[in-house]
């Protein structure tokens, strides 16, 4: 993190989050304030611009990061996208979300004990557990502090394909959520086959799609294997519903109809594969259960709160469906194999299905670059999935390279086409707001819940309402986009409520200096919940942005606006947009307000919101 | 091992909802500026019918139980051989006979029914003739027998048993294809013009975007109980110099004409929403205080907001409205028994509270509430849950409903019986088309327009018939 230069000014008349902001009394805790106040000062590079390489670098970082500051943009500009990307792809994981989750939990639970007494905490009916919110804080903390841009961005994209969600009983285990995210994060630059195998055995996926504790069939009792995971591993995580050409378009039968990749009989066969899995062990924060071996059918197996959610599920062979199982494309699993041998065979069967490259490739392009890739773009990415050039199938680095360095991503000529671009995910707008200006606080605890944000805009990380993510890849909003038969997934959460809520959030950030729901203290009215009330925070926990450069430009509004245009959009602002922002800034006489106004208006502008 | 086992979710949701809400009553400046810019008067040429009189107000409330409600544990045969057949097939998922709440009805075969024990309010509504069930409804392209299904001689819905497809088809009622346009949206295409107010959509969603309410020309207007109703742009309300500057900057950015269709779509949603908010927010402030109390959960809170919205129908100048509420989390592959106890109770209470509110407003005959869900679930157990299936049971409620009946043919629950197409999956005996056609006709869709709203209806029902498709509505 960079040195601290910041301003904290409160504008009481505009206080949003009224309940929260009441105790947020201003900047006396500020270690330093550096604002250029010279009126009319710096020689105006009016309409000043940056080099084309710099704009290209910033635009590239819109695809390749969760938000990049000016220094990163400069570095990419100097090195070139390809070289910078290779360095990124060579970086091992920089953070561990589960470790951070435990660390935050260990910060909080002694506070609960101190306030309520150990006996109350340990024996209370409403259990005190490492719930979901410690993981949320860990996510924000880690993504704001790490510089493995590409891995972080790809992981966030993958978390929208291989979906689990805290909007379920998974919220009982923050470490489990974090460990699942670590799994995606670790595999982001690995091989797709390992990813598919590992998510299948992760206990959080086991709970989410109910193949944990899934017994073999029992004809006498009319019990059949649970079909949930069997269906979704095919429909959503690997091959999709229809046979695809390499370019992502559906193959058609003689009657012109798409050809299903599987039928319900296939699902029943795959359901047999995913039987016999149980938790690896038990966990309870207030007692050591590590010495108890897992028993099939124990009531403790039934909840993410009571099991070890950070180790792969284990097999109970006597509960695994015996016998032959039919896979796709005529493959068969012989009778008598172990559970894990069966799962390996099924994962291999799906991994080698020709659909995976175009299916997963297109989903990743939609998350990273654009909503409507051309068939040729999908084909180029799928080809790299099939063979990374060294005969290896499923190499995610090759896929990421192919997506991010494709001419359709990089070349300017694509920008003005109607099928270019995408609506920026609200979550990515938020991460960019914080990362582009190096959000920090004095305590170093960047423990944001992101809960109010999620409530306002219907998006967070691993918070989707169902396994179908926040939006469907083929969503078409009514109007010209549907008329042109184009897709715009993110518009599914651009509603009359969320579209306006986002503007109000930007107002809270840039005008009210309220950048997130930081929590560091136990709540006073609950024995198991942290508080993000500002009144419970230390001033050293308050978030602030590093806007030193922007404040230095406060009196040179065109340069200020051009800098934001660069950092946020890679140069997408039209003259009309710049003029709208300029007109507003020039009516203000306070340098801080000038910067705030420029930031707010930039963030809500249509030319920022639609990424081209 | 001993441990305390009552995990709550670790936080008070109510507390969050409280903090998240932002009171917002907008000035009308932004609306006027938009109107002046000619942005929302695409509908300007349309007829502006006179204000509705009360007798002609009608609203339809769709409660989508997303995930696939296991509705053969909601409506259960409670006597003799019928219960035995149920208990045998459902095995460890069968509810004990003594727990079922009896309802006063017997079908033509003498089958008598009980309700899930967590639905005493629905039991009362049924026995008071304010609510009926329709049994074994599902997505069908055309009437289909078991033999036709098994030999493949009739087209069947695409993506049978898959959530994404089935939840979509319950909203489109066009199961032979994937479409993002719903029958509620197509009703609005026809009926929106009859509302005095052309700015606010006839279709109001409590759950954001959805398929049901999007037509070829119509889209939903989203409000949220958690936000206190509609949401407006805060910066338009301030009075300081900075606020005024930001307001004009915001208006200036939104007023730009964007060639790019992504940008124009993005901008139009914001502008329309703000204009809607300014009207809606002002109207909802005038809602009378209801004496009916609603439970403290998001479903009841949203039903209360629907009731308030209906209460200000005259201020809003509307004569037709649909409301859409998505109550998700019914995909009970796991723990179906425990989960249904809690969730059916939420539904039961919310229905009863809403009906009481409509009676309080004197509008019980004008408002019909109905449920939908992705599909029914397999009758057999997968251990402690059930899997995706096809036909299911639904509820309709209101003063215009022929209450106290089970419509349709409650299927045989015998494994491999006449209605089981294999795997304990029930072939629907009524199509969503027949279900929705009856609601549409009550709502005022003309015979001639029925096939626009429900393109497959001709496969099941003659739009000009003098009888109703099912008969559950008083028309």
Block means of pLDDT (10 residues each) for chain A, 612 residues, are 25 27 31 36 52 96 98 97 98 98 97 94 86 97 97 98 93 97 98 98 96 93 90 96 97 95 94 98 94 93 95 98 97 97 98 98 98 98 98 98 97 86 98 98 96 92 92 93 96 93 96 94 87 87 96 97 98 97 97 98 98 94
Could you count the other beta carbons within 10 Å of the beta carbon of residue A294?
17
Interface test with A, best of B10, B186, B324, B389 (most A CBs within 10 A): B10
Among all residues of chain B, which has the CA nearest to that of A206?
B334
Nearest-Cα distance to chain B for A122, in Å, is: 9
Could you count the other beta carbons within 10 Å of the beta carbon of residue A331?
13
pLDDT confidence of residue A598: 98
Cα separation of B17 and B136, whole Å? 37
* ipTM (interface pTM): 0.91
Cα separation of B445 and B419, whole Å? 33
Cα separation of A27 and A34, whole Å? 13
**DSSP code at position B224:** B
CB–CB of A172 and B161 under 8 A? Answer: no
Q: Which residue has the tokens 């065979």?
A: A345
- CB proximity list for A526: less than 8 A, separation 6 or greater: B11, B12
Intra-chain end-to-end CA distance of chain B, in Å: 62
pLDDT confidence of residue A15: 26
Q: Which among A474, A491, A526 has CB closest to B12?
A: A526
Write the secondary structure of A515-528 as one string of H (helix), E (strand) and C (coil).
CCCECCEECCCCCC
pLDDT confidence of residue A465: 85
Q: Which among B67, B273, B387 has CB closest to A500?
A: B273
- CB proximity list for B265: less than 8 A, separation 6 or greater: A477, A479, A480, A481, A488, A491
Q: Which among B4, B214, B227 has CB closest to A478?
A: B214
Q: Which among B17, B88, B387 has CB closest to A226?
A: B387
| Residue A2 near residue A441 (C-beta atoms within 8 A) | no
Which of B392, B316, B437 has the alpha carbon at shortest distance from B52? B316
Interface test with B, best of A166, A455, A500 (most B CBs within 10 A): A500
Which of B136, B130, B212, B113 has the alpha carbon at shortest distance from B172? B212
Residues listed for chain A: 612
Could you count the other beta carbons within 10 Å of the beta carbon of residue A173?
31
| Residue A371 near residue A488 (C-beta atoms within 8 A) | yes
Interface test with B, best of A172, A307, A496, A612 (most B CBs within 10 A): A496
CB–CB of A477 and B265 under 8 A? Answer: yes
Nearest-Cα distance to chain A for B7, in Å, is: 5
Q: C-alpha distances in angstroms, A138 versus A96, A275, B362? A: 9, 33, 52
How many cross-chain Cβ pairs, A to B, lie less than 8 Å apart? 301
Among all residues of chain B, which has the CA nearest to that of A260?
B159
Query: What's the half-sphere exposure (Cβ side, CA atoms, 13 Å) at A514?
Result: 29
Tell me the pairing of strands B367-373 and B392-397. Answer: antiparallel
Cα separation of B191 and B59, whole Å? 12
CB–CB of A14 and B6 under 8 A? Answer: no
Nearest-Cα distance to chain B for A1, in Å, is: 31
pLDDT confidence of residue A48: 57
CB–CB of B265 and A588 under 8 A? Answer: no
Helix crossing, B241-255 with B29-36: angle to 10°? 30
Task: Please state whether B65 falls in left (phi above 0), alpha (psi between -120 and 50) or beta.
Answer: beta
pLDDT confidence of residue A402: 98
The angle subtended at Cα A550 by Cα A548 and Cα A554, nearest 5°, is 115
Q: Which among B160, B249, B269 has CB closest to A499?
A: B269
Radius of gyration of chain A (CA): 26
Write the secondary structure of A124-159 as one string of H (helix), E (strand) and C (coil).
CCCCCCCCHHHHHHHHHHHHHHCCCHHHHHHHHHHC
Given a cut of 70, the residues of chain B with pLDDT beneath it are 1-55
Residues listed for chain B: 475
Could you count the other beta carbons within 10 Å of the beta carbon of residue A94?
13
pTM summary value: 0.83
Q: Which among B5, B8, B16 has CB closest to A451?
A: B16
Token readout for A563 is 């800098």
B154-159: list long-range contacts, CB under 8 Å, 24+ apart.
B159/A241
Question: A-chain residues within 8 Å CB-CB of B240?
Answer: 11, 13-14
pLDDT confidence of residue A167: 87
Strands (E), B305-344: 320-328
Nearest-Cα distance to chain A for B248, in Å, is: 7
Could you count the other beta carbons within 10 Å of the beta carbon of residue B193?
15
Question: A-chain residues within 8 Å CB-CB of B17?
Answer: 455
Alpha helix (H) residue ranges in A278-374: 339-351, 356-368
Q: Which residue has the tokens 């409590």?
A: B206
Token readout for B301 is 């809170």
Among all residues of chain B, which has the CA nearest to that of A586?
B245
Can you tell me whether residue A165 is helix, strand or coil? coil
Nearest-Cα distance to chain A for B262, in Å, is: 7
Helix crossing, A149-158 with A81-90: angle to 10°? 70
Question: A-chain residues within 8 Å CB-CB of B20?
Answer: 452, 455-456
Q: C-alpha distances in angstroms, B200 versus A103, B187, B219, B230? A: 49, 15, 10, 11
Cα separation of A386 and A392, whole Å? 7
pLDDT confidence of residue A53: 95
């Amino acid at each position: 993190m960079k040195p601290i230069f910041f301003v904290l000014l409160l504008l009481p008349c505009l206080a949003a989050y009224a309940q929260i902001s009441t105790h947020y009394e201003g900047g006396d805790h500020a270690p330093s304030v550096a604002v250029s106040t010279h009126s009319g000062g710096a020689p105006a590079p009016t309409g000043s611009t940056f080099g084309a390489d710099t704009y290209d670098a910033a635009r590239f970082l819109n695809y390749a990061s969760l938000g990049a500051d000016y220094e990163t943009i400069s570095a990419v500009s100097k090195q070139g996208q390809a070289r910078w990307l290779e360095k990124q792809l060579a970086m091992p994981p920089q953070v561990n979300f589960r470790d951070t989750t435990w660390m935050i939990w260990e910060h909080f639970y002694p506070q609960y004990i101190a306030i309520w007494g150990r006996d109350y905490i340990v024996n209370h009916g409403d259990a005190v557990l490492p719930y979901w919110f410690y993981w949320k804080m860990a996510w924000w903390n880690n993504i704001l502090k790490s510089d493995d841009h590409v891995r972080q961005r790809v992981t966030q994209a993958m978390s929208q394909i291989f979906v689990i969600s805290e909007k379920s009983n998974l919220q009982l285990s923050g470490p489990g959520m974090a460990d699942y995210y670590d799994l995606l994060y670790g595999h982001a630059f690995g091989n797709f086959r390992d990813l598919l195998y590992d998510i299948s055995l992760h206990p959080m996926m086991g709970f989410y799609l109910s193949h944990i504790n899934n017994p073999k069939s029992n004809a006498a009792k009319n019990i059949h294997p649970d079909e949930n995971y069997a269906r979704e591993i095919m429909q959503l995580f690997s091959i999709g519903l229809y046979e695809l050409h390499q370019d992502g378009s559906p193959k058609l039968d003689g009657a012109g109809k798409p050809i299903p990749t599987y039928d319900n009989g296939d699902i029943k066969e795959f359901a047999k594969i995913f039987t016999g899995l149980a938790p690896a062990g038990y966990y309870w924060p207030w007692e050591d259960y590590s010495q108890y071996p897992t028993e099939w059918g124990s009531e403790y197996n039934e909840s993410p709160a009571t099991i070890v959610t950070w180790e792969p599920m284990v097999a109970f062979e006597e509960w695994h469906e015996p016998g032959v199982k039919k896979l796709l494309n005529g493959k068969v699993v012989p009778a008598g194999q172990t559970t894990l041998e069966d799962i390996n065979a099924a994962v291999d069967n799906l991994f080698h299905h020709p659909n995976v490259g175009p299916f997963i490739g297109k989903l990743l392009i939609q998350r990273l670059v654009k909503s409507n890739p051309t068939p040729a773009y999908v084909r180029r990415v799928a080809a790299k999935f099939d063979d990374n050039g060294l005969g290896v199938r499923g190499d995610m680095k090759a896929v990421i390279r192919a997506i991010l360095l494709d001419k359709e991503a990089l070349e300017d000529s694509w920008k003005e086409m109607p099928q270019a671009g995408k609506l920026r995910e609200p979550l990515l707008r938020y991460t960019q707001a914080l990362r582009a200006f190096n959000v920090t606080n004095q305590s170093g605890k960047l423990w944001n819940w992101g809960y109010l944000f999620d409530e306002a805009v219907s998006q967070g990380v691993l918070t989707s309402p169902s396994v179908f993510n926040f939006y469907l890849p083929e969503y078409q909003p009514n109007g010209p986009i549907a008329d042109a038969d184009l897709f715009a997934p993110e518009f599914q959460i651009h509603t009359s409520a969320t579209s306006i809520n986002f503007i109000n959030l930007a107002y809270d950030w840039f005008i009210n200096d309220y950048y997130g729901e930081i929590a560091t203290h136990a709540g006073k009215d609950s024995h198991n919940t942290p508080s993000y009330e500002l009144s419970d925070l230390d001033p050293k926990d308050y978030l602030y942005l590093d806007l030193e450069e922007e404040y230095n430009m406060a009196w040179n509004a065109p340069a200020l606006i051009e800098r934001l245009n660069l950092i946020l959009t890679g140069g997408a602002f039209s003259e009309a947009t710049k003029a709208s922002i300029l007109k507003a800034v020039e009516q203000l006489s306070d340098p801080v307000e000038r910067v705030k106004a420029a930031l707010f208006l930039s963030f809500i502008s249509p030319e920022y919101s639609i990424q081209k | 091992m001993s441990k305390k086992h009552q995990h709550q979710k670790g936080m008070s949701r109510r507390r969050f909802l409280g903090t998240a809400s932002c009171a917002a009553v907008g000035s009308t400046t932004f609306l006027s500026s938009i109107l002046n810019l000619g942005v929302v008067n695409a509908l300007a040429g349309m007829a502006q019918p006179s204000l509705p009189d009360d007798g002609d107000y009608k609203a339809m409330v769709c409660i989508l139980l997303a995930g696939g409600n296991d509705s053969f544990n909601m409506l259960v045969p409670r006597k003799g051989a019928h219960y035995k057949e149920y208990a045998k097939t459902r095995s460890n998922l069968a509810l004990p006979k003594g727990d079922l709440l009896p309802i006063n009805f017997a079908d033509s075969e003498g089958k008598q029914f009980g309700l899930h024990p967590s639905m005493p309010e629905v039991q009362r509504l049924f026995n008071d003739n304010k609510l009926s069930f329709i049994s074994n409804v599902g997505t069908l392209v055309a009437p289909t027998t078991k033999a036709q299904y098994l030999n493949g001689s009739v087209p069947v819905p695409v993506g049978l048993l898959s959530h994404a497809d089935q939840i979509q088809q319950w909203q489109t009622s066009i199961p032979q294809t994937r479409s993002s346009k719903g029958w509620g949206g197509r009703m609005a295409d026809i009926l929106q013009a009859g509302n005095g107010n052309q700015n606010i959509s006839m279709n109001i969603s409590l759950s954001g975007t959805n398929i049901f309410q999007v037509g070829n020309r119509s889209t939903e207007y989203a409000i949220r109980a958690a936000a206190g109703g509609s949401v407006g742009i805060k910066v338009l309300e301030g009075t300081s110099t900075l606020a005024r500057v930001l307001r004009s900057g915001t208006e200036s950015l939104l007023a730009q004409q964007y060639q790019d269709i992504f940008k124009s779509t993005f901008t139009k949603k914001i502008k329309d929403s703000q204009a809607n908010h300014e009207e809606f927010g002002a109207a909802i402030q005038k809602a009378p205080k209801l004496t009916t109390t609603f439970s403290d959960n998001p479903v009841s809170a949203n039903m209360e907001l629907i009731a308030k919205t209906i209460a200000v129908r005259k201020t809003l100048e509307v004569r037709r409205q649909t409301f859409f509420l998505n109550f998700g989390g019914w995909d009970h592959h796991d723990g179906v028994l425990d989960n249904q106890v809690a969730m059916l109770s939420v539904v039961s209470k919310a229905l009863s509270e809403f009906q009481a509110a409509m009676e309080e407003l004197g509008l019980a005959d004008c408002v019909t509430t109905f449920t939908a869900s992705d599909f029914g679930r397999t009758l057999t157990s997968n251990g402690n849950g059930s899997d995706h299936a096809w036909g299911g049971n639904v509820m309709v409620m209101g003063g215009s409903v022929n209450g106290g009946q089970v419509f349709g043919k409650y299927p045989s629950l015998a494994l491999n019986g006449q209605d089981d197409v294999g795997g304990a999956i029930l072939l629907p005996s009524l199509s969503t088309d027949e279900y929705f056609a009856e609601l549409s006709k009550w709502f005022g869709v003309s015979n001639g327009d029925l096939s626009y709203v429900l393109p497959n209806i001709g496969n099941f029902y003659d739009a000009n018939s003098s009888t109703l498709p099912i008969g559950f509505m008083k028309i």
